Chain A
């Protein structure tokens, strides 16, 4: 399955998703995530994800030095040959979802905030991956004291995840890189790291933590959540803007400031793309008025990519992972 085929298919399905504002009307985070995942599944009966985990299983002949616990004794009884279920562990992947809870996420012009949207995406991922029998962990980023829930797959773990995700934004953006570094230290076994953030911080501060994560062998998916008004600064009237994190006030005439803002915003975005490219992290930018299923689709796409890479002759190589995004601004490879 090629990237271009999947993009076309996803784009086609995205148009059938429920409107984001309708989804966000659901107050309960778990219910919201469930609605997204089930609605998504109902529309994708012939999804390539179907049977994904079954195909993932593989036997190989036992060689000396392998752990005898990996030998499939039933197959030995049937065939009288020693086979080892080598990739069974790989199929139940670990996924670390890092959710930005800084004050800058507590902004929204479409009826809900970026933080609520990011929580929805994270909850959707957690719910979906739990259904897939994957171990899901969550870490809150951008706060002075990051909360970390290690990835597990057990009854009641999803509820803990949802409770942690429901916390309000309370940190500052400058602590995002530090939180990612902590995550790198806490996640000893490799897996998939999904960072949901607006990335409104110094891009260079993210370079090192992303390098740590990659160094740990994690696959990194960065989902950048933006409010539509942040992209174009589409205010109509002059107003006194207050920085959500620092409280700094600034009087802005949008007509005069828009062009300069857009230039700086694009330069910042280009820096982030560059860093993600250098650290082999996939960057997806999504605005809060888009359906959250888009992000889920990207996650599935990402897992499919990983599966194909694993099944390819070059599997196991720790090279840069090529990113493909929903938008033109997203770095592609």
Chain B
């Protein structure tokens, strides 16, 4: 016998009521007026236990009625153990742990691991669990075993071991990306029939869930109904965080003003508001290079940083509850030197001298210093041979060679080899043709295309650029309509160049820009990792207005560095950002103290996994970058978990094994009780007893009133 609503059984205590009422009934319930008490003295009644409980039958009936009705409300049923003890099905549970940088807080990570262990302890042996981590992407640690190659217990053991060895990373948070990937994998497995579509898939997400954890993109995501998420938010003992970042330099600031400005932001839930900012050299602070500041919770201060000592490598903030994001690494820019060789003699007339305009053009940037040097036509082969090996210590590299054809075959071959190794060769047909065959052969050798014909073009007044390929890296910066006006570049004289399509598909010659008479103006022939460019007019004023145009420098830089690597002047990255590097195979990455770092490289870029100062050395060039904790990990105010509900996420607490068993038994008990319906009989019996009690009580009352009829006093006389 079991009870569906055992709390109602407490109402059986009401049986005390009739007993008390029967006991106190002997006390006078009311008062009676009497003419005078002058002949009376108080006489307490004789109370004996036997005399107080005289209506035993009524008492028993009333108690029985209460007990029967109480039992009816308690919904009793007869147990059938065979039905109640069914085995529970295993669940598919994915444990997703947040390993973003904010989880680096020691007490937060310890709490997260504790939650994970508690979850593993509460599972039933048949539950299949997998482990994933999420920072800026989803990482499977113990992947969901759709093939069921291992049994559930082994899977749980594997997850337990993985959790024990898990450490948080320094990357940012993109929680929604991870959740979407995980639910998509659940759905994919369900569609593929690898898991039962009807079964409930549970997702347990353990995270500190701060306001910048990136859940916004869940808003438009159709969350599958078969996946239910249990969010277990872990919070630090000391809330709040302060973060310092280097502010961008003011455009109006003087060039020689080298002093940095620091932006200090304090979270709204912080307790501390007094901080110290100091320069550090290694692990020791630099004396005299520190300052204190007050930033109330929820506010931002912009202050000038203390003057940077020469030996200091980072600025550190102290005084907040989490020190993990307090260092500002300051990378020192290492300028790269590149040389541009112009092949040809110096002309007396500047207007006709190509090199003169090259030398005047500001081709250097903050990170690349470019110099133009002249090389005699006869010395070209020797010059190219001498510069094939780059001096890494000096860091000077021959980046480009600009030549005015014609040139001999050997030089042309050497130039093409130079281009194939990453160099840039620009053949500029700057002057009217005197020996067309020789020039044609030179161009043919440079382009490795035998059927090249060069002739002097006949133009009336001038020619303008018309067909421009804006997908080319040279003209890509001018794709915007605000900048693509090339009508100022008038080409007075140019050469017509005709070439047939090469049979070799790997050797393509692209026409990057053409003139309005249909002849190509700029041709590009990618060779190896470099390019050979052919310009059919010169940039000197007698040939065209190109050299005087504002677009001369950007177009020339586009030709010198089509990949844009050299233009990049970024020194500060976040953990997980892609850092472009020049030469991946030769890349060596080391920390500021010289210890080597293993990096993951892809698509010409690397990613670094922890904050700090790094030295990147590739192709003989060394540069320094600073890697900071991602900005999304600054604002660590906890987020309300109800946001997931607003985004349509199926939320629900993951039941432990004991709770599931209890719940299952409860459901089955309800089913049994509804079949048996014992409560109806009990209620009917209670009502019958009540009716009997009413009849008996009435009978007793009438009998009592008859016996209480006043006896007439005897009168004498």
Q: List, in ascending order, chain B residues with CB within 8 A of A105's CB.
A: 35
Q: List, in ascending order, chain B residues with CB within 8 A of A147's CB.
A: none
Is A104 in contact with B36, judged by CB distance below 8 angstroms?
yes
- Per-residue A-contact encoding for B696-717, CB less than 8 Å = 1, 0 else: 0000000000011011111111
**Which bucket holds chain B's interface residue count?**
20 to 34
Interface residues of B in 406-455 (CB under 8 A from A): none
Q: List, in ascending order, chain A residues with CB within 8 A of B30's CB.
A: 239-240
A104-B35 contact in complex given A229-B710, A240-B30, A253-B46, C-beta closer than 8 Å = yes
Interface residues of A in 198-214 (CB under 8 A from B): 198, 200
Which partner residue on chain B sits nearest A200 by CB separation? B36
CA of A242 to CA of B716 in the docked complex: distance in angstroms?
Answer: 29
Q: List, in ascending order, chain A residues with CB within 8 A of B31's CB.
A: 239-242, 249
CA of A290 to CA of B28 in the docked complex: distance in angstroms?
Answer: 31
Report the stretch among A73-81, A136-144, A258-266, A306-314 that lies at the interface: A258-266
Quote the shortest CB–CB distance from A231 to chain B (angstroms). Answer: 5
CA of A198 to CA of B36 in the docked complex: distance in angstroms?
Answer: 10
Is B36 in contact with A243, judged by CB distance below 8 angstroms?
yes
Is B34 in contact with A228, judged by CB distance below 8 angstroms?
no
Does B40 lie at the interface of the complex (its beta carbon under 8 Å from any beta carbon of A)? yes
Is B35 in contact with A240, judged by CB distance below 8 angstroms?
no
CA of A228 to CA of B39 in the docked complex: distance in angstroms?
Answer: 15
A327-B715 contact in complex given A114-B35, A236-B708, A239-B32, C-beta closer than 8 Å = yes
Quote the shortest CB–CB distance from B171 to chain A (angstroms). Answer: 87
- B35 is contacted by which of A237, A244, A248, A287 (Cβ under 8 Å)? A244
- Per-residue A-contact encoding for B171-209, CB less than 8 Å = 1, 0 else: 000000000000000000000000000000000000000
CA of A9 to CA of B616 in the docked complex: distance in angstroms?
Answer: 149
Quote the shortest CB–CB distance from B492 to chain A (angstroms). Answer: 134
- Per-residue A-contact encoding for B647-668, CB less than 8 Å = 1, 0 else: 0000000000000000000000
A287-B42 contact in complex given A107-B33, A241-B32, A244-B34, C-beta closer than 8 Å = no
Quote the shortest CB–CB distance from B50 to chain A (angstroms). Answer: 16
- A290 is contacted by which of B26, B711, B715 (Cβ under 8 Å)? B715
CA of A250 to CA of B33 in the docked complex: distance in angstroms?
Answer: 10
Q: List, in ascending order, chain B residues with CB within 8 A of A233's CB.
A: 40
Q: List, in ascending order, chain B residues with CB within 8 A of A265's CB.
A: 39
CA of A240 to CA of B35 in the docked complex: distance in angstroms?
Answer: 13
Does B165 lie at the interface of the complex (its beta carbon under 8 Å from any beta carbon of A)? no
Which partner residue on chain B sits nearest A264 by CB separation? B39
- A228 is contacted by which of B40, B708, B712 (Cβ under 8 Å)? B712
Is A251 in contact with B39, judged by CB distance below 8 angstroms?
no
A245-B713 contact in complex given A250-B42, A251-B44, C-beta closer than 8 Å = no
- Per-residue B-contact encoding for A222-241, CB less than 8 Å = 1, 0 else: 00000111111110111111
CA of A117 to CA of B38 in the docked complex: distance in angstroms?
Answer: 22
Is B45 in contact with A238, judged by CB distance below 8 angstroms?
yes
CA of A88 to CA of B282 in the docked complex: distance in angstroms?
Answer: 148
Does B41 lie at the interface of the complex (its beta carbon under 8 Å from any beta carbon of A)? yes
Does A326 lie at the interface of the complex (its beta carbon under 8 Å from any beta carbon of B)? yes
Is A245 in contact with B36, judged by CB distance below 8 angstroms?
yes
CA of A246 to CA of B710 in the docked complex: distance in angstroms?
Answer: 26
Does B253 lie at the interface of the complex (its beta carbon under 8 Å from any beta carbon of A)? no
CA of A244 to CA of B33 in the docked complex: distance in angstroms?
Answer: 6
Is B707 in contact with A228, judged by CB distance below 8 angstroms?
no
- A257 is contacted by which of B41, B711, B716, B717 (Cβ under 8 Å)? B41
Is B36 in contact with A260, judged by CB distance below 8 angstroms?
no
- Per-residue A-contact encoding for B494-537, CB less than 8 Å = 1, 0 else: 00000000000000000000000000000000000000000000
Q: List, in ascending order, chain B residues with CB within 8 A of A109's CB.
A: 710
Is B715 in contact with A248, judged by CB distance below 8 angstroms?
no
A173-B36 contact in complex given A234-B710, A236-B707, A326-B717, C-beta closer than 8 Å = yes
Which partner residue on chain B sits nearest A294 by CB separation? B717
Is A329 in contact with B716, judged by CB distance below 8 angstroms?
yes
CA of A106 to CA of B36 in the docked complex: distance in angstroms?
Answer: 11
Is A252 in contact with B715, judged by CB distance below 8 angstroms?
no
Is A248 in contact with B46, judged by CB distance below 8 angstroms?
no
- A252 is contacted by which of B38, B43, B707, B710 (Cβ under 8 Å)? B43
Q: List, in ascending order, chain B residues with CB within 8 A of A242's CB.
A: 31-34
Is A234 in contact with B713, judged by CB distance below 8 angstroms?
yes
CA of A107 to CA of B710 in the docked complex: distance in angstroms?
Answer: 15
CA of A329 to CA of B717 in the docked complex: distance in angstroms?
Answer: 8
Interface residues of B in 15-56 (CB under 8 A from A): 26, 28, 30-46
Interface residues of A in 143-188 (CB under 8 A from B): 173
Is B713 in contact with A231, judged by CB distance below 8 angstroms?
yes
Q: List, in ascending order, chain B residues with CB within 8 A of A229's CB.
A: 710, 713
Does A328 lie at the interface of the complex (its beta carbon under 8 Å from any beta carbon of B)? yes
Q: List, in ascending order, chain B residues with CB within 8 A of A330's CB.
A: 717
Does A1 lie at the interface of the complex (its beta carbon under 8 Å from any beta carbon of B)? no
Is B717 in contact with A325, judged by CB distance below 8 angstroms?
yes
Q: List, in ascending order, chain B residues with CB within 8 A of A240's CB.
A: 28, 30-32
- A287 is contacted by which of B32, B40, B708, B713 (Cβ under 8 Å)? B713
CA of A326 to CA of B717 in the docked complex: distance in angstroms?
Answer: 6
Is A261 in contact with B40, judged by CB distance below 8 angstroms?
yes
Which partner residue on chain B sits nearest A231 by CB separation? B713
Is B712 in contact with A241, judged by CB distance below 8 angstroms?
no
Q: Which of B36, B45, B713, B714 has the most CB of A within 10 A?
A: B36
Is B713 in contact with A241, judged by CB distance below 8 angstroms?
no
Does A72 lie at the interface of the complex (its beta carbon under 8 Å from any beta carbon of B)? no
Which partner residue on chain B sits nearest A330 by CB separation? B717
Is A327 in contact with B33, judged by CB distance below 8 angstroms?
no
Which partner residue on chain A sits nearest B39 by CB separation? A264
Q: Which of A233, A251, A290 has the most CB of B within 10 A?
A: A251
A261-B36 contact in complex given A234-B713, A249-B31, A251-B45, C-beta closer than 8 Å = no
- Known A-B contacts: A228-B710, A260-B40. Give 17 more (CB < 8 A): A104-B36, A107-B34, A114-B35, A200-B36, A229-B710, A231-B713, A239-B28, A241-B40, A243-B34, A244-B36, A250-B40, A251-B42, A251-B45, A260-B41, A261-B40, A287-B715, A327-B716
Give 12 pairs: A residue, B residue, CB < 8 Å, sorted on A: A228-B710, A238-B45, A239-B32, A241-B31, A241-B33, A251-B43, A251-B45, A256-B43, A257-B41, A257-B43, A327-B717, A328-B716
- Nearest 6 Cβ contacts at the A-B interface: A327-B717, A228-B713, A107-B35, A264-B39, A104-B35, A256-B43
